[in-house]
């Protein structure tokens, strides 16, 4: 059997595509998603700042990391977060693996794990709470876990990813290390509403 794309000989009769072409296919899928994320983030930026920003520099940085560091993204929202992290020069690792778990984002310098949760997530999910606890414990409780509702991305992060994360952590009442999807998301919205209000006043 030969690779259906490049014709290279394959070592298994169950395969139709070689590893090189398969990697190209993986990258292509991510680039299509990246374009979607860029359009979404651009729109959000224009709406808030009344000025456009092309995210070209950020696109190139992400493409480079997809190739060299094998960065992978599960959703458009994750890419929006990556674009904002690049823009603000925040170090990040998407789909960070810890033992059996994967976290959407690790921000090593901010000492934060960020999960972007879709509508299927439930805060009363005991296994999810246990998972979070184990991850935080594995990092000696130095790192905080934050959650955000996917529907608020990138709109409520556009005024500042780092600033909004700082705000959510500083507003935590019960425990610095325990996340709560609804509460965290409300804090994110609160912060972005305030920033947007201040921006409107200054224009
Ligand atoms: Zn091939």
- In 139-180, where does DSSP find H-type helix? 161-170
- DSSP structural state of residue 143: S
Task: Report the predicted TM-score, pTM, of the whole model to 2 decimal places.
Answer: 0.87
Assess if residue 120 is contained within a domain: yes
Q: Which of 53, 7, 73 is nearest to 158 (CA)?
A: 53
CA of 64 to the centre of ligand 1 (A): 22
Assess if residue 146 is contained within a domain: yes
Assess if residue 28 is contained within a domain: yes
The tens digit of pLDDT for each residue in 123-137 reads 557 778 888 888 888
CA of 10 to the centre of ligand 1 (A): 9
CA angle 199, 201, 202 (to 5 degrees): 65
Assess if residue 159 is contained within a domain: yes
CA of 74 to the centre of ligand 1 (A): 24
Q: How many domains does the chain have?
A: 1
The tens digit of pLDDT for each residue in 58-88 reads 999 999 999 899 898 989 999 999 999 999 9
Rg (CA), the chain: 19
CA of 16 to the centre of ligand 1 (A): 9
Nearby residues of 176 by Cβ (< 8 Å), 6 or more positions away: 144, 169
The tens digit of pLDDT for each residue in 125-184 reads 777 888 888 888 888 888 999 999 999 999 999 999 999 999 999 988 665 567 888 889
CA of 12 to the centre of ligand 1 (A): 13
Assess if residue 140 is contained within a domain: yes
Assess if residue 8 is contained within a domain: no
Assess if residue 173 is contained within a domain: yes
CA of 19 to the centre of ligand 1 (A): 7
Residue 156: give the domain boundaries.
19-202
Please answer whether residues 177 and 145 qualify as being in contact, where contact means their C-beta atoms are separated by less than 8 angstroms: yes
CATH, residue 112: 3.40.960.10
Residue 98, SS3 per DSSP:
strand
């Amino acid at each position: 059997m030969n690779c259906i794309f490049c014709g290279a000989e394959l070592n298994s009769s169950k395969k139709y595509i070689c590893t090189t072409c398969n990697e190209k296919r993986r990258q292509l899928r991510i680039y299509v998603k990246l374009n979607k994320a860029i359009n979404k983030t651009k729109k959000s930026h224009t709406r808030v700042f009344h000025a456009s920003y092309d995210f070209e520099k950020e696109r190139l940085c992400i493409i480079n990391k997809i190739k060299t560091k094998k960065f992978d993204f599960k959703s458009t929202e994750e890419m929006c977060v990556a674009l904002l992290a690049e823009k603000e020069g925040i170090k990040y690792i998407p789909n960070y693996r810890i033992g059996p778990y994967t976290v959407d984002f690790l921000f090593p310098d901010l000492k934060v794990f960020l999960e972007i949760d879709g509508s299927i997530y439930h805060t009363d999910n005991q296994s999810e709470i246990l998972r979070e606890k184990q991850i935080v414990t594995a990092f000696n409780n130095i790192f905080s876990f934050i959650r955000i509702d996917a529907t608020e991305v990138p709109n409520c992060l556009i005024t500042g990813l780092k600033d909004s994360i700082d705000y959510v952590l500083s507003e935590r009442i019960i425990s610095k290390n325990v996340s709560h999807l609804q509460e965290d998301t409300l804090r994110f919205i609160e912060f972005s509403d305030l920033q947007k209000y201040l921006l409107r006043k200054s224009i």
